[in-house]
Amino acid sequence: MSWHAPLRARWQQASRREQLALLGGATLLMLAMLWLLAVAPALAILRSAEPQRRDLEAQLQQMQGLQSQAKALQAQPRLAPDEARRLLEASVKPLAASLQIAMAGDRATVTLKGMTADALTQWLAQVRLNVRVLPAEARLRRNAAGTWDGTMVLNLGAP
């Protein structure tokens, strides 16, 4: 005998009303399983699709803006090392309490002491736009006061 023979015998002994009740319960159970396993997850994904699309669109716009900014910076001609050195020294003068610069050939080592994050961000943006260099090396750490200490090396010559 197979495993379902007792079930088949029980089914045949059940009244028509019991059979309909069992069929209705099984149908209801199958519909609930279909809802839980197929329809509800699909609806949840569908509901979250539009906010995700908006977030991704905003990220894409931001990335395209950064890309156009990078291309504009790359299109600018590099400054001569002497001119870059002069502009870099001029950018450090207003921040003499927080920044010190040491020149060695086409490399500038900038030492930071107690510089706020906002001041560091503004100075780096100014150096990137005016001097047209980026840090080649940076060793920064946040001190107990919440300001930044460390060193950065900038290459002023051709890459």
pLDDT digits 0-9 by tens, 38-52: 999 999 999 999 999
pLDDT above 70 covers a percentage of the chain that reads 97
Q: Are 139 and 150 in contact (CB under 8 A)?
A: yes
DSSP-derived 3-state class of residue 91: helix
Three-state SS across 2-18? Answer: CCCHHHHHHHHHCCHHH
Q: Which residues contact 106 (CB under 8 A, 6 or more apart)?
A: 81, 155, 156, 157
pLDDT value, residue 70: 83
Q: Is the pLDDT of residue 158 over 60?
A: no
Domain boundaries, the chain: 5-75, 81-155
The reported pTM is 0.55
pLDDT value, residue 73: 75
Q: Which residues contact 50 (CB under 8 A, 6 or more apart)?
A: none
Domain 81-155 has CATH 3.30.1360.100: yes
